[in-house]
């Protein structure tokens, strides 16, 4: 991993088989797409959240208490990843969540390796996230929101669920202000890999 470039790019090419994806995540590597070619990253530093450092604002506590949203896990994995693939992202032209990625992660989900968390409002899926469980670490891949605070609602509830499942770290991969406001912070790649192997 020391051979990764400054952006964390480690390798280009290969397939998205279950075995390759599992091996990658077990070694602190995750895929993105550039065109039709998978690119494998291991950034340094790494943006992560320790569950006991989760920050819930007063306004979010009110949202959670209000009962306007319903939280579920693994009830709409395919819908979540497809919605994540369609949202506009600031500073990005298009999406890395290609049809190949969608199919690969659905296969991981069917094997009990990839998970989704959902936010529902009046029976409609309005927010959610998905990612991969690797031992005591959950690697978040993407999230979407169609209503204000819907993705935060899913994330907060899922972090609390993961904490009960003895997960010690949520890998957020790269910095976003959205996740920083929830308590995520940078750690070195060396520290991340050490936690991955603990």
Go through the domains of the chain in sequence order and give each one's CATH number: 45-196 (3.40.630.70)
Each residue of 90-130: pLDDT tens digit? 544 446 788 999 999 999 999 999 999 999 999 999 999 99
CB 40 within 8 Å of CB 31: yes
Greater pLDDT, 89 or 35 = 35
Structure confidence at residue 36 as a pLDDT band (50, 70, 90): confident
pLDDT mean over 190-195? 95
pLDDT of residue 198: 84
Per DSSP, the chain holds a count of helices (H) and strands (E) of 7, 10
Q: Return the sign of the alpha-carbon dihedral for residues 97, 81, 136, 47.
A: positive
Q: What is the 3-state secondary structure (H, E, C) of 68-84?
A: CCEEEECCCHHHHHHHH
State how far the alpha carbon of 58 is from the alpha carbons of 8, 51, 61, 64, 65, in Å. 36, 18, 5, 10, 11
Structure confidence at residue 137 as a pLDDT band (50, 70, 90): very high
Q: Is the pTM of this model over 0.85?
A: yes
Distance in angstroms (rounded) separating the CA atoms of residues 168 and 183: 14
pLDDT at residue 1 above 60?
Answer: no
CB 127 within 8 Å of CB 154: yes
pLDDT of residue 91: 47
pLDDT of residue 69: 98
Each residue of 161-172: pLDDT tens digit? 999 999 999 999
């Amino acid at each position: 991993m020391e051979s990764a470039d400054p952006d964390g790019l480690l390798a280009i090419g290969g397939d998205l088989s279950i075995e390759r994806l599992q091996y990658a995540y077990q070694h602190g590597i995750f895929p993105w797409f550039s065109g039709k070619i998978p690119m494998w990253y291991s950034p340094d530093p790494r943006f992560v959240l320790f569950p006991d450092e989760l920050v819930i604002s007063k306004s979010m506590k009110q949202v959670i208490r209000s009962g306007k949203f319903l939280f579920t896990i693994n009830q709409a994995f395919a819908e979540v990843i497809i919605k994540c693939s369609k949202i506009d992202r600031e500073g990005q032209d298009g999406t890395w969540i290609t049809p190949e990625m969608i199919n690969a992660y659905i296969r991981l989900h069917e094997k009990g390796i990839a998970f989704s968390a959902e936010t529902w409002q009046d029976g409609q899926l309005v927010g959610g996230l998905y990612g991969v469980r690797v031992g005591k670490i959950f690697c978040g891949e993407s999230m979407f929101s169609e209503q204000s605070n819907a993705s935060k609602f899913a994330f907060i509830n899922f972090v609390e669920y993961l904490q009960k499942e003895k997960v010690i770290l949520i890998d957020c991969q790269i910095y976003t202000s959205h996740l920083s406001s929830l308590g995520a912070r940078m750690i070195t790649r060396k520290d991340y890999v050490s936690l991955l192997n603990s």
